[in-house]
A and B are shown apart, each in its own frame.
Chain A
Amino acid sequence: MKTRWIILFFPLVSVIVLSLAVMRHAANAGSPSGVPAAVAAQAAPAAATSSRAGALTIPDTTLAVNSDKPMSERVVHYEIDARYDAAKHVVDATEVLTYHNLTGQALDHFPFHLYQNAFQPNSTFVREVKVDDAGYDNWEAKAYGSEEIKSLELVGQGDLTAQLRYTAPDDGNKDDKTVVDLRVPKPIAPGEYVQFKIAFQTNFPETQARSGWKRDFVLGGQWFPKVGVWWHGAWNCHQYHAFTEFFADFGVYDVKLTVPQYEVVGASGVKVGEVSNPDSTKTLSYHGDDIHDFAWTASPRYKLKDDGVFQGQMGPVKMQILMQPAHWSQVERHEKILRESLDHFERWYGPYPYKTITLVDPEPDSEAGGMEYPTFITGETSWFMPKGQLWPEVVVEHEFGHQYWYGMVATNEFEDAWMDEGINSYTEVKVLDSIFGPDTSFSAIAGATRSEREYQRLSYIRAADLDPIAQKAYDYYNYRSYGGITYGKTASVLLTLEGIIGADTMRKAMRVYFMKYRFTHPTKEDFLKTIEEVSGRDLRWYVNQAIYGSQVMDYQVLKIDSFPVNWYEDKQGSGKDDDKDTIYRSYVSLQRKEDFVMPVEVEIKFENGETLREHWDGVNRWTRLGPYDKKTKIASAEIDPDHKVQIDRNDFNNSYTAEANVKPARKVSNYWLFATQWMSQALAWWGV
Chain B
Amino acid sequence: MSENKGLLSGGWGMVRRNKRYIFWFYVLNLLLGLFGTVAFFEHAGAILDHSLHADLLLHGFSRDVLDEMLMRPEFGSTSVPRTSAVCFALLFFLVTALFLPGVLQGYASTYRLQREDFFRVCGRNLWQFVRLIIVAGIVMGSVAGTLFGLHGALERKAAESTNELLLPEVQLAGLVVIFLVMAALRIWFDLAQTDIVLSDQRAVRKSIGAALLQMWRHLGRLLASYVVTTIVAAIVLLAGLWVWMKFVRPDNVLGAFVVGQFTLLLLLIPRFWQRGVAVTYYLQNMVEPIAVMESFASVATHEDHIEMGDAHQD
User: Could you list which residues of chain A lie within 8 angstroms of chain B, going by C-beta atoms?
Assistant: 3-4, 6-8, 10-11, 14-15, 18-19, 21-23, 25-26, 28-29, 32, 34, 215-216, 301, 324-326, 364-365, 382-384, 439, 443, 446-451, 454-455, 457-458, 461-462, 636, 638, 650-657, 660-670, 672-681, 683-688
Q: Can you name the residue of chain B whose Cβ is closest to the Cβ of A641?
A: B52
CB contacts (< 8 Å) of A636 on chain B: these are 52
Q: Decide yes or no: A22 and B154 within 8 Å by CB, A652-B48, A665-B41, A670-B256 being known contacts.
A: yes
Contact yes or no, B33 A673, CB < 8 A: yes
Contact yes or no, A681 B165, CB < 8 A: no
Mask of B148-177 contacts with A, CB within 8 angstroms, 1/0: 001000100111111111101010011001
Please measure, in the bound complex, the distance between the C-alpha atom of A571 and the C-alpha atom of B253, giving whole angstroms: 39
Contact yes or no, A675 B85, CB < 8 A: yes
Contact yes or no, A447 B96, CB < 8 A: no
Please give the distance in Å from B129's CB to the nearest CB on chain A.
8
Which of B51, B67, B150, B257 gathers the greatest number of chain A CB atoms within 10 Å? B51
Mask of B170-190 contacts with A, CB within 8 angstroms, 1/0: 100110010011101010000
CB contacts (< 8 Å) of B253 on chain A: these are 663, 666-667, 670
Q: Decide yes or no: A656 and B264 within 8 Å by CB, A451-B64, A663-B253 being known contacts.
A: no
Contact yes or no, B85 A676, CB < 8 A: yes
Please measure, in the bound complex, the distance between the C-alpha atom of A639 and the C-alpha atom of B52, giving whole angstroms: 10
Please measure, in the bound complex, the distance between the C-alpha atom of A142 and the C-alpha atom of B272, giving whole angstroms: 53
Q: 4 tightest CB-CB pairs across the interface, nearest first? A: A3-B220, A454-B64, A25-B161, A655-B52
A sample of 27 inter-chain contacts (CB < 8 A) reads: A3-B221, A19-B157, A21-B170, A22-B166, A216-B162, A365-B159, A443-B63, A449-B62, A461-B68, A660-B45, A661-B58, A662-B49, A663-B253, A665-B41, A667-B57, A667-B253, A670-B257, A673-B34, A676-B37, A676-B88, A677-B33, A680-B33, A681-B264, A687-B97, A687-B136, A687-B137, A688-B100
Please measure, in the bound complex, the distance between the C-alpha atom of A687 and the C-alpha atom of B181, giving whole angstroms: 15
**Given A10-B177, A672-B37, A688-B129: 9 more A-B contacts, CB < 8 Å:** A11-B147, A15-B154, A19-B154, A26-B158, A26-B161, A448-B61, A660-B45, A676-B33, A688-B133
CB contacts (< 8 Å) of B268 on chain A: these are 681
CB contacts (< 8 Å) of A667 on chain B: these are 57-58, 251, 253, 256
Contact yes or no, B93 A687, CB < 8 A: yes
CB contacts (< 8 Å) of B260 on chain A: these are 670, 673-674
CB contacts (< 8 Å) of A679 on chain B: these are 85-86, 89
Judge if B16 is at the interface, Cβ distance under 8 Å.
no
Judge if B219 is at the interface, Cβ distance under 8 Å.
yes
Please give the distance in Å from B180's CB to the nearest CB on chain A.
7
Please measure, in the bound complex, the distance between the C-alpha atom of A325 and the C-alpha atom of B165, giving whole angstroms: 10
Contact yes or no, A455 B93, CB < 8 A: no
Please measure, in the bound complex, the distance between the C-alpha atom of A535 and the C-alpha atom of B85, giving whole angstroms: 54
CB contacts (< 8 Å) of B180 on chain A: these are 7, 10-11
Q: Can you name the residue of chain A whose Cβ is closest to the Cβ of B97?
A: A688
Q: Decide yes or no: A661 and B64 within 8 Å by CB, A11-B180, A18-B154 being known contacts.
A: no
CB contacts (< 8 Å) of B137 on chain A: these are 687
Q: Decide yes or no: A669 and B40 within 8 Å by CB, A383-B168, A652-B47, A655-B52 being known contacts.
A: yes
Mask of B40-80 contacts with A, CB within 8 angstroms, 1/0: 11001101111111110110111111111101100000000
Contact of B68 among A29, A652, A676, A684 (CB under 8 A): A652
Contact yes or no, B219 A4, CB < 8 A: yes
Q: Can you name the residue of chain A whose Cβ is closest to the Cβ of B163?
A: A25
Please measure, in the bound complex, the distance between the C-alpha atom of A457 and the C-alpha atom of B71, giving whole angstroms: 12
Contact of A26 among B72, B160, B217, B264 (CB under 8 A): B160
CB contacts (< 8 Å) of A666 on chain B: these are 41, 253
Contact yes or no, B165 A663, CB < 8 A: no
Judge if B250 is at the interface, Cβ distance under 8 Å.
yes
Contact yes or no, B41 A32, CB < 8 A: no
Please measure, in the bound complex, the distance between the C-alpha atom of A653 and the C-alpha atom of B140, giving whole angstroms: 50
Please give the distance in Å from A621's CB to the nearest CB on chain B.
20
Q: Can you name the residue of chain A whose Cβ is closest to the Cβ of B38?
A: A669
CB contacts (< 8 Å) of A675 on chain B: these are 85
Please measure, in the bound complex, the distance between the C-alpha atom of A301 and the C-alpha atom of B218, giving whole angstroms: 49
Would you list which residues of chain B between 20 and 50 have a CB under 8 Å from chain A?
29-30, 32-34, 36-37, 40-41, 44-45, 47-50
CB contacts (< 8 Å) of B184 on chain A: these are 7
Contact yes or no, A15 B45, CB < 8 A: no
Please measure, in the bound complex, the distance between the C-alpha atom of A10 and the C-alpha atom of B57, giving whole angstroms: 48
Q: Decide yes or no: A23 and B157 within 8 Å by CB, A447-B245, A663-B251, A677-B30 being known contacts.
A: yes
CB contacts (< 8 Å) of B174 on chain A: these are 18
Please measure, in the bound complex, the distance between the C-alpha atom of A650 and the C-alpha atom of B86, giving whole angstroms: 30
CB contacts (< 8 Å) of A382 on chain B: these are 164
CB contacts (< 8 Å) of A670 on chain B: these are 253, 256-257, 260
Contact yes or no, B89 A676, CB < 8 A: yes
Secondary structure dominating the interface of B: helix
Mask of B92-128 contacts with A, CB within 8 angstroms, 1/0: 1100110010000000000000000000000000000
Q: Decide yes or no: A449 and B63 within 8 Å by CB, A670-B260, A677-B30, A678-B264 being known contacts.
A: yes
Which of B52, B133, B159, B168 gathers the greatest number of chain A CB atoms within 10 Å? B52
Contact yes or no, B63 A652, CB < 8 A: no
CB contacts (< 8 Å) of A6 on chain B: these are 220
CB contacts (< 8 Å) of B218 on chain A: these are 4
Please give the distance in Å from B84's CB to the nearest CB on chain A.
9
Q: Can you name the residue of chain A whose Cβ is closest to the Cβ of B60?
A: A449
Please give the distance in Å from A656's CB to the nearest CB on chain B.
5
Q: Can you name the residue of chain B whose Cβ is closest to the Cβ of A216?
A: B162
Contact yes or no, A11 B181, CB < 8 A: yes
Which of B48, B89, B162 gathers the greatest number of chain A CB atoms within 10 Å? B162
Contact yes or no, B150 A15, CB < 8 A: yes
Judge if B11 is at the interface, Cβ distance under 8 Å.
no
Q: Can you name the residue of chain B whose Cβ is closest to the Cβ of A638?
A: B52
CB contacts (< 8 Å) of A8 on chain B: these are 219
Which of A4, A651, A683, A684 gathers the greatest number of chain B CB atoms within 10 Å? A684
Contact yes or no, B66 A668, CB < 8 A: yes
CB contacts (< 8 Å) of A654 on chain B: these are 51-53
Contact yes or no, B68 A458, CB < 8 A: yes
CB contacts (< 8 Å) of B54 on chain A: these are 652, 661, 664-665
Which of A15, A439, A654, A667 gathers the greatest number of chain B CB atoms within 10 Å? A667
Judge if B81 is at the interface, Cβ distance under 8 Å.
yes
CB contacts (< 8 Å) of B140 on chain A: these are 686
Please measure, in the bound complex, the distance between the C-alpha atom of A34 and the C-alpha atom of B170, giving whole angstroms: 22
Contact yes or no, A683 B64, CB < 8 A: no
CB contacts (< 8 Å) of B163 on chain A: these are 25, 28, 326
CB contacts (< 8 Å) of A365 on chain B: these are 159
CB contacts (< 8 Å) of A326 on chain B: these are 163-165
Contact yes or no, B51 A18, CB < 8 A: no
CB contacts (< 8 Å) of A650 on chain B: these are 68, 72
Please give the distance in Å from A266's CB to the nearest CB on chain B.
18
Contact yes or no, B52 A657, CB < 8 A: yes
Judge if B205 is at the interface, Cβ distance under 8 Å.
no
Please measure, in the bound complex, the distance between the C-alpha atom of A408 and the C-alpha atom of B170, giving whole angstroms: 45
Please give the distance in Å from B31's CB to the nearest CB on chain A.
10
Judge if B300 is at the interface, Cβ distance under 8 Å.
no
Please give the distance in Å from A334's CB to the nearest CB on chain B.
16
Q: Decide yes or no: A652 and B53 within 8 Å by CB, A216-B162, A677-B30, A680-B92 being known contacts.
A: yes
Contact yes or no, A660 B150, CB < 8 A: no
Contact yes or no, B41 A684, CB < 8 A: no
Q: Can you name the residue of chain A whose Cβ is closest to the Cβ of B190?
A: A688
Would you list which residues of chain B between 180 and 212 have a CB under 8 Å from chain A?
180-182, 184, 186
Contact yes or no, B177 A673, CB < 8 A: no
Contact of A439 among B58, B62, B97, B177 (CB under 8 A): B62
Judge if B216 is at the interface, Cβ distance under 8 Å.
yes
Please give the distance in Å from B187's CB to the nearest CB on chain A.
11
Contact yes or no, A683 B90, CB < 8 A: yes
Please measure, in the bound complex, the distance between the C-alpha atom of A685 and the C-alpha atom of B267, giving whole angstroms: 10
Please give the distance in Å from B58's CB to the nearest CB on chain A.
5
Contact yes or no, B162 A29, CB < 8 A: yes
Contact yes or no, B62 A668, CB < 8 A: no
Q: Decide yes or no: A447 and B61 within 8 Å by CB, A661-B54, A664-B48 being known contacts.
A: yes
